[in-house]
């Protein structure tokens, strides 16, 4: 009769970055036990006619994040429930960095915040107020399973910006351990000089956001960061690349010898600055700003050409009440909801429109982030021995995005009324079915903290 596995996903089209084949996936415990044909399971999911993808890794989320006197509206419980409904089985969130605290204690505190998660969680550490001489914090953080560190070239006023000389010292230390530096790259001096020239009338218009933080400030910051990364030999990841100019700077940095990876986000692939002119334009406040159609096209081309390594969401949701317009485009919490719609949108707009191939989906949403952040091959792979993180995805299901049908804790979606082709039918996280046929099955707290090694 042969071995009976605990769970078998039967007859689906298994899609990895390299192959597309009809196969069964057998799971025992938390791991993939076998990939082949005619397995038997004490539980089975019939995936015939469906795609079986590796679980999506959203490598950039902000659950329960204190921002501008409020807090992002998803905590780790609600945010990871939404993630599970969207086929995301691992998120990588951030510590809350501060000048008064040390990175190791920030990691411990954030692990406590994340304890109610229903999918797995890894952490990046924010580097805020750090000074040379405190390199031990990085080493200790790596011992706690955090191998990636987030720096800002902007947000001087809130104390988040790291000056270039301090960034160089930090990158040198991270390079010794082969850890990764993440950088939010916007040129503070350029932003400040534009801000000085704004009239009260301009400050009172949402459309000014696109002019106040232009693509040029992204390009200029990426060039500087790439130079430091090259000099120090540090693996460096540019978050939320939003423009053609920014992408060009990433390419140039790589050509010059910097070890760069880059991500973009659905908002930069699908939306443009035109939305700021809408009556509800203030709801789209996010940084970097939304760009032009030319930028969208450049970013899609970058996904195809492998110049962009992954798509993440920068999920940082707020309600429309939290985003109430107060007459100043700067006086808003910045961030957009995205974790639940990542896979359907990239599939629908990418594969559905013939811009991406089917194998690009696991490359950009699973293997890409897993490789960039030391999670591979435990995560991001459909391989024997990998964690059994899988998505059963119906490529034919056509539906319309409405905020009220989504599980993210916000009352609007930037993609509302958009018709999408492709929907998540079930999500499996470490061998447990966490979402199936519209129902969340996981208990809060079943998500694990994923410690990474360099």
Does residue 164 have a pLDDT over 60?
A: yes
pLDDT in tens, 64-104: 999 878 999 999 999 999 999 999 999 999 999 999 999 99
pLDDT at residue 34 in the model: 98
Q: Give one word for 85, left, alpha or beta, with left for phi > 0 and alpha for psi -120 to 50.
A: alpha
d(CA 386, CA 161): 38
Q: Are residues 290 and 355 in the same domain?
A: yes
The CATH number for 47's domain is: 2.30.40.10
pLDDT of residue 239: 98
Judged against a pLDDT cut of 70, whether residue 204 lies above it is answered with yes
Computed over every residue of the chain, the mean pLDDT equals: 97
pLDDT at 68: 77
If asked whether residues 35 and 68 sit together in one domain, one would say no
For residue range 424-446, what is the model confidence (pLDDT) as tens digits? 999 999 999 999 999 999 999 99
Residue 120 and residue 39 share a domain = no
Task: Tell me the percentage of the chain whose pLDDT exceeds 90.
Answer: 98
- 338: helix, coil or strand? coil
Average pLDDT over residues 1-27: 95
Q: Tell me: do 92 and 223 sit in the same domain.
A: yes
- Given a cut of 80, whether residue 1 has pLDDT beyond it is no
Q: Are residues 134 and 168 in the same domain?
A: yes
Domain count, the chain: 2
Q: What is the pLDDT of residue 207?
A: 97
Residue 2 has pLDDT above 80, yes or no: no
Per-residue pLDDT of 107-134, as tens digits, reads 999 999 999 999 999 999 999 999 999 9
Residues 254 and 110 both lie in one domain: yes
Domain membership flag for residue 449: no
Per-residue pLDDT reduced to its tens digit, 167-185: 999 999 999 999 999 999 9
304 and 183 fall within a common domain: yes
Residue 296's pLDDT is what?
Answer: 98
Looking at 59-147, which runs of residues are DSSP E strands? 66-67, 70-71, 88-94, 120-126
Helix (H, G, I), strand (E, B) or coil at 255: helix
CA nearest to 123, candidates 91, 83, 170 = 91
Q: Is residue 292 pLDDT above 70, yes or no?
A: yes
**Domain span at residue 23?**
4-53+389-409+418-440
Q: What is the predicted pLDDT for the residue at 154?
A: 95
What was the pLDDT predicted at 69?
A: 85
């Amino acid at each position: 009769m042969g071995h009976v596995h605990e769970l078998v996903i039967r007859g689906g089209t298994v899609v990895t970055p390299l192959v597309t084949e009809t196969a069964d996936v057998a799971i025992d415990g938390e791991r993939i036990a076998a990939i082949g044909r005619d397995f038997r399971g004490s539980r089975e999911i019939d995936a015939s006619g469906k795609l079986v993808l590796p679980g999506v890794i959203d490598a950039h989320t902000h659950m329960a994040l204190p921002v501008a006197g409020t807090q992002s509206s998803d905590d780790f419980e609600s945010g990871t429930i939404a993630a599970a409904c969207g086929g995301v089985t691992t998120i990588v969130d951030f510590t809350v960095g501060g000048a008064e605290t040390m990175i190791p204690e920030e990691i411990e505190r954030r692990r406590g915040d994340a304890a109610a998660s229903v999918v797995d969680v890894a952490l990046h550490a924010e580097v805020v107020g750090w000074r040379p001489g405190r390199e031990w914090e990085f080493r200790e953080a790596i011992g706690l399973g955090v191998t990636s560190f987030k720096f800002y070239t902007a947000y001087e006023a809130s104390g988040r910006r790291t000056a270039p000389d301090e960034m160089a010292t930090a990158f040198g230390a991270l390079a010794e351990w082969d850890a990764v530096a993440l950088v939010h790259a916007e040129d503070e001096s350029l932003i400040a000089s534009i801000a000085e020239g704004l009239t009260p009338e301009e400050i009172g218009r949402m459309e000014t956001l696109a002019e106040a933080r232009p693509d040029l400030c992204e390009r200029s910051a990426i060039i500087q960061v790439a130079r430091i990364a090259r000099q120090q030999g540090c693996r460096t990841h540019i978050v939320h690349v939003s423009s053609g100019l920014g992408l060009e700077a990433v390419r140039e940095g790589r050509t010059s010898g910097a070890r760069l990876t880059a991500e973009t986000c659905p908002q930069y692939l699908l939306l443009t600055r035109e939305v700021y002119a809408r009556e509800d334009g203030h709801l789209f406040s996010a940084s970097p700003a939304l760009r032009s159609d030319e930028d969208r096209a450049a970013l899609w081309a970058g996904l195809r050409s492998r110049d962009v390594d992954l798509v993440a969401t920068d999920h940082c949701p707020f309600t429309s009440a939290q985003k109430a317009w107060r007459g100043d485009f700067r006086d808003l919490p910045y961030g957009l909801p995205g974790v639940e719609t990542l896979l359907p949108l990239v599939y629908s707009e990418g594969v559905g429109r013939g811009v991406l191939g089917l194998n690009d989906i696991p490359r950009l949403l699973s293997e890409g982030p897993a490789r960039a952040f030391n999670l591979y091959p435990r995560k991001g792979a459909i391989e024997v021995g990998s964690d059994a993180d899988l998505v059963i995805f119906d490529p034919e299901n056509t539906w319309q995005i409405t905020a009220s049908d989504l599980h993210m804790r916000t009352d609007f979606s930037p993609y509302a009324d958009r018709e999408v082709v492709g929907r998540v039918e079930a999500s499996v996280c470490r061998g447990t079915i966490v979402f199936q046929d519209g129902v969340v099955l996981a208990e809060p707290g079943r998500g694990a903290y994923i410690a990474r090694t360099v």
